[in-house]
Amino acid sequence: MERFLADKGLLTQLDDVRHSVADKAHVVADRTADLIGNAMGFIGVPYRRGGTSATTGFDCSGFVLAVYEKTVGMILPRKADQQAASTQVIDKKELQPGDLVFFNTMRHAFSHVGIYVGDGKFIHSPRSGSEVRVEDMQQSYWQRRFDGARRVAVEAKGQP
């Protein structure tokens, strides 16, 4: 079988596909690490309604917008519900670092957003008088208000 595949040039093609998949996996892992690292770099930045910068402060969606823009150059919609509508729905069990998590904190769906960092935790800019921080999604407050998880479709740089 191996000789047949070699004669047809398929072993080379198979090897090329393996390398391509491995290269893409490294790009995704690096991008995820950068995304979470940049998000963590904003810990302690104060909440500011309508805020979109570390200098003046963030609201929840402004924080997510800034992290994605800084890390991958992607401009997400401004509001949490718009961010939910523009991203791919995933099951909570499929959450991976860098995915978005949404909550109903203002009596309407998708009124709050954060970035999943792994191990059941997310980073966000919670509310007035507070600052960017990491929280546990298993806390009853967040469990009761969980609205869903979304994945941002980000193309690898240099990839179509």
Q: Which of 19, 26, 60, 108 is catalytic?
A: 60
Query: What 8-state DSSP symbol labels residue 39?
Result: H
Q: What share of the chain is helix, strand, coil (3-state, %, to 5)?
A: 40, 20, 40
Tell me how far CA of residue 81 lies from CA of 111, 113, 119, in angstroms.
6, 9, 25
Count Cβ neighbours within 10 Å for each residue of 46-64 and write b for 16 or more, e otherwise: ebbeebbebeebbbbbbbb
Q: Is 124 assigned a catalytic role?
A: yes
Catalytic residue positions, numbered: 60, 112, 124
